[in-house]
Amino acid sequence: VSATTLVQDCLSRLKKYNAQVNAFIEIQKEEVILQKAREAENRINEGINNKLLDGIPIAYKDNFCTQDLTTTCGSNMLRNFTSPFNATVVELLQDAGSIIIGKTNMDEYGMGSANLYSAFGPVYNPHKIISDQESNIDKYEKRVAGGSSGGSAAAVASGMCFAALGSDTGGSVRLPASYCGVIGFKPSYGLCSRWGLITYANSFDTVGIITRTVDDSQLIFDIISKYDEKDSTSLSPKLRAFNSLISYNSPLNKNEPLDLSGLRVGVPKEYMVSELSEPIIKLWKKGISFLKSQGATIISVSCQNIKYALSTYYILAPAEASSNLARYDGIRYGHQSEKNLSQLINNNENTELLYANTRDEGFGIEVKRRIMLGTFTLTTGSYENYYLRAQKIRKLIQLDFNKIFRRQNPLQQYFQYFINQNNNNNSNNSFYKKEGVDVLITPVTISISPKISDYNNNNFLNFYVNDIFTIPANLVGIPAISIPFGKLHNYPIGLQLMSQYGDDLTLFKVAKTLE
């Protein structure tokens, strides 16, 4: 199809379904989209300056800075904020010829798992809405799209764009992908630049990719996985080269592309939690049997400390958030409270009150809760009992994962490798252990997409349980992918694969066999 036909297709689905799904906070002007599509089409027709993603419509979660459209983070605090620059990943995808179709809805600042915490209203799971278009959608209870990248997942699932970027701090790309029936990929921390991705919890935040196929995900990943000097946590070119060297030496390279013999798949015991329902366990077993039938060896593994992952995350992420969100004071950018403004500004003592009024009006309930929680755990007296302990447990979980994987962690091997080389000692230079697994297979979510009403009158702590399977990968920085694997009660549901830090390519390879 031509670029114009493709974007027109997406636009017509967007017009048809967005009113019910609420996937977009802002949509790019139609004439701008069509103009860009024509330019791409000319490049393709003339065969000069062709680009990899010429004319491909892409949506961005509304926490990626864009110069042309507002960047709200789903918050009243940034309702009218337009960034003076584009995020690095936005630039990279635009340079590859793609077109920004719009900015997608999200839980405020990425805090949430159901997309019910957006100042722009919830995102509804598009599944029934599009398969049941003739009938009256009010006749069944609406379900959530999942969060916090719910708008991105819903937009891809309903064909409003070819791909969408989301962000994954604790599962926000994988969870909505599972609920909506699309691929959600969280790369290794540090591979894709976070510059221009508005911070929630910086040591966890990762750019995430939502697509309909694993090949599409890999295509986008190849374009945005670049070193960026503007992001101090971007993996350096040297480490990237070292990581490729490890991949080159992988024992899996001996296999044909889709033959999984030689692949060692781990099933972590600790994922069998009491919240898991029988149908999800069945689905998980089906995934395991499938990989086995393709020649993989299945191994039961244990990461003892993973049972602390959820509570560790909910100590550390709010702590980072409480510090990161201090920038929204009503002075520099974003919302500014007008309550008694002239009086407050003329009186320095009351500047604090201006901040307080601004935050009171600008932030929603969940963001306030996280700031309070984070401020508490960072306060003298609770710091050692909560924050410091959580950091220690984070390290222990990391060690657990390093023990499980056959591939060594490049971040730990790097210096050892050069020391050994300088000493002409090659004996310790093996990048792969004899024992250990290449990937882990687990569920992504404890259930299919819940009904909106499931969230009424409920203790907010219960919502946090939904992140139990996705959070470990963020604590450790390893890559993880959610792949649709069947349906329950007519709603899609995914399985998750995880691999060692830097081993993103193995994930793609195995994910392709599961789709």
Please give the distance of CA 205 from its chain centroid, rounded to a whole number.
8
* Contact flag: residue 467 with ligand GLN (CB under 6 A): yes
Q: Considering the rule CB under 6 A, would residue 480 count as an interface residue with ligand GLN?
A: no
Which token pair is 419? 């020391």
**Least distance from C-beta 173 to ligand GLN, angstroms?**
7
Specify the residue, 344 or 471, whose C-beta has the smaller distance to ligand GLN.
Answer: 471
Quick one: 188 or 243, whose CB is closer to ligand GLN? 188
C-alpha span between 37 and 2 (Å, rounded):
9
Of all residues in the shown chain, the one whose CB is closest to ligand GLN is 172
Using alpha carbons, select from 289, 254, 191, 206 the residue that is nearest to residue 486: 289
Stretch that binds ligand GLN, among 16-24, 110-118, 120-128, 442-450 (CB under 6 A): 110-118
Pick the stretch among 138-146, 168-176, 339-347, 426-434 that binds ligand GLN (CB under 6 A): 168-176
What residue spans of 158-277 are helical by DSSP H?
Answer: 174-180, 214-224, 237-248
Question: Per the residue annotation, which of 148, 193, 247, 499 is the catalytic one?
Answer: 148
Stretch binding ligand GLN (CB under 6 A), from 132-140, 163-171, 232-240, 244-252:
163-171
228 is a contact residue toward ligand GLN (CB under 6 A)? no
118 as an active site residue: the answer is no
Q: Which of 192, 317, 354, 473 binds ligand GLN (CB under 6 A)?
A: 317
- Residues numbered 111-140 forming contacts with ligand GLN, rule: CB under 6 A: 111-113
> Does position 172 bind ligand GLN by CB under 6 A?
yes
CB atoms within 10 A of CB 48: 8
**Of the residues 22, 72, 169, 234, which one makes contact with ligand GLN according to CB under 6 A:** 169
Based on CB atoms, which residue is closest to ligand GLN, 167 or 247? 167
How many residues appear in the chain?
A: 515
At its nearest, how many Å lie between ligand GLN and the CB of residue 413? 28
The answer to whether the beta carbons of residues 319 and 66 sit under 8 Å apart is no
Binders of ligand GLN in range 380-399 (CB under 6 A): none
Judged by CB, which is closer to ligand GLN: 317, or 397? Answer: 317
342 classed as catalytic: no
- For ligand GLN, the closer of residues 102 and 110 by Cβ is 110
Please tell me the distance from the alpha carbon of residue 139 to that of residue 231, in angstroms, as a whole number. Answer: 48
Sheet holding 24-27, edge to edge: 24-27, 99-104, 57-61, 163-168, 206-211, 183-186, 480-488, 491-499, 439-443, 264-268, 297-301
Closest CA to 126 of 177, 75, 184: 177
Among 102, 110, 151, 334, binds ligand GLN (CB under 6 A): 110
Selection from 282, 362, 371 nearest residue 330 by Cα: 362
Task: Give the active site residue among 36, 61, 142, 186.
Answer: 61
Minimum distance, C-beta of residue 321 to ligand GLN, in the bound complex (Å): 8
One-character DSSP codes across 71-126: --TTSGGGTT-B-SS--HHHHHHHHTT-EEEEEE--SGGG--SSS---TT-PPBPH
Q: Which of 146, 171, 190, 502 binds ligand GLN (CB under 6 A)?
A: 171
Q: What is the DSSP code string of 212-241?
A: SSHHHHHHHHHHH----TTSTTSPPHHHHH
CB of 109 to ligand GLN, least distance (A): 8
Binding range to ligand GLN, per CB under 6 A, among 43-51, 96-104, 108-116, 324-332: 108-116
- Find the DSSP H helices in 305-434: 309-324, 341-345, 351-362, 365-377, 389-404, 410-422
Distance CA 436, CA 295 (A): 17
- Shortest Å distance, C-beta 34 to ligand GLN: 33
Task: Please state, in angstroms and as integers, the Cα–Cα distance from residue 338 to each residue in 119, 352, 353, 362, following that order.
Answer: 19, 14, 11, 12
C-beta closer to ligand GLN: residue 105 or 250: 105
Contact positions with ligand GLN (CB under 6 A) in 179-208 = 200
Q: Bridge-partner residues for 266, per DSSP? A: 299, 440
Residue closer to ligand GLN, measured from CB, 53 or 89: 89
Residue for token pair 């970027």 = 165
Looking at 167-175, 322-330, 336-344, 372-380, which segment touches ligand GLN (CB under 6 A)?
Answer: 167-175
From the CB of 217, what's the least distance to ligand GLN, in Å? 17
Q: Which of 149, 158, 172, 449 is catalytic?
A: 172
Question: Closer to ligand GLN at the Cβ: 97 or 472?
Answer: 472
Q: Is 158 a catalytic residue?
A: no
- The answer to whether 168 contacts ligand GLN (rule: CB under 6 A) is yes
Looking at beta carbons only, is 112 or 477 nearer to ligand GLN? 112
Nearer to ligand GLN, 55 or 364 (CB): 364
Residue from 22, 66, 105, 148 in contact with ligand GLN (CB under 6 A): 148
Measured CA to CA, the distance from residue 474 to residue 189 in angstroms comes to 8
Residue 301 makes contact with ligand GLN by CB under 6 A:
no
Ramachandran bin of 115, using left for φ above 0, alpha for ψ from -120 to 50, beta for the remaining angles: left
Helix (H) or strand (E) holding 268: strand 264-268
Tokens of 180: 């909506």
* Tokens of residue 48, six digits: 């000069």
The pair of structure tokens assigned to 82 is 């337009």
- Residues with a catalytic annotation lie at 61, 148, 172
Task: State the residues that interact with ligand GLN by CB under 6 A.
Answer: 110-113, 148, 167-172, 200, 317, 467
